[in-house]
């Protein structure tokens, strides 16, 4: 039937209708060159993108435990200890100096508090004011805290606490977190 129709069309000088859409040579070349170009640009782009963001996908380092003090140095009176940690954040590596107030409680449990005041971030000192003996005191606006870090005035929260690990006679400090003693 279709052949008859095409034959009629040829006889009448018309071009036969195409039975289905066929790709022209120009379209074929466009698709082929376009696809090849996209592949050549896309593959290196994906690898470079992966390389660029890879450090951001890595777990931040610097939260491991650090050896800070000998157990025999620790008493019930808080003492300040300084130590450095190795931090890797993306492409940036640093070794900031940290500080901790370390002491033991009446049961002999060792704990360590951050010296960063929870008001506006100044540094607290044990027995820092004659008005507040046996307490941490912040010289900036007068916040003071108990030995466990409980805020008694000005500051809205207790002093943060370090993770503590005791091993082979040494005190190791880990990540800082919210105070769990008060």
Does residue 141 interact with ligand FES by CB under 6 A?
Answer: yes
**How far is the C-alpha of 89 from the C-alpha of 80, rounded, in Å?**
27
* Owner of token pair 């940036």: 92
Task: Report which secondary-structure segment, H or E, holds 55.
Answer: helix 25-57
Residue of the chain from 103, 119, 151, 171 that contacts ligand FES (CB under 6 A): 119
Q: For residue 56, state whether it binds ligand FES (rule: CB under 6 A).
A: no
151 part of the interface to ligand FES, by CB under 6 A: no
Taking contact as CB under 6 A, which single stretch among the options 2-10, 40-48, 56-64, 120-128 is the one that binds ligand FES?
A: 120-128
Compute, in degrees rounded to 10, the torsion defined by CA atoms 79, 81, 87, 93.
Answer: 140
Q: Which helix (H) or strand (E) holds 2?
A: helix 2-11
Give, rounded to a whole angstrom, the gap between the first and last alpha carbons of the chain: 93
Single residue of 52, 140, 178, 182 touching ligand FES by CB under 6 A: 140
- Residue 68 as a binder of ligand FES (CB under 6 A): the answer is no
Q: Confirm or reject binding of residue 153 to ligand FES (CB under 6 A).
A: no
Q: What residue has token string 């000005």?
A: 154
Kindly tell me which residue out of 43, 46, 80, 120 binds ligand FES, with binding defined by CB under 6 A: 120
Task: Name the residues that contact ligand FES, by CB under 6 A.
Answer: 117, 119-122, 138, 140-143, 154
């Amino acid at each position: 039937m279709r052949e008859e129709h095409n034959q009629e069309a040829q006889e009448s000088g018309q071009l036969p209708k195409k039975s289905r859409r066929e790709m022209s040579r120009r379209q074929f070349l466009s698709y082929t060159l376009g696809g090849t170009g996209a592949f050549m640009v896309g593959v290196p782009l994906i690898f470079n993108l992966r390389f660029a963001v890879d450090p951001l996908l890595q777990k931040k380092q610097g939260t491991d435990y650090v050896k800070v003090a000998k157990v025999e140095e620790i008493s019930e009176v808080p003492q300040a200890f300084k130590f450095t940690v190795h931090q890797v954040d993306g492409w940036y590596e640093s070794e900031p100096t940290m500080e901790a107030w370390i002491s033991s409680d009446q049961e002999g449990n060792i704990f360590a508090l951050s010296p960063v005041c929870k008001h506006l971030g100044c540094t607290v000192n044990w027995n820092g004011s004659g008005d507040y003996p046996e307490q941490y005191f912040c010289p900036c606006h007068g916040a003071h805290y108990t030995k466990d870090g409980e805020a008694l005035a000005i500051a809205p929260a207790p002093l943060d606490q370090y993770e503590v690990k005791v091993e082979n006679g040494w005190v190791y400090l880990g990540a800082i977190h919210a105070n769990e003693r008060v």
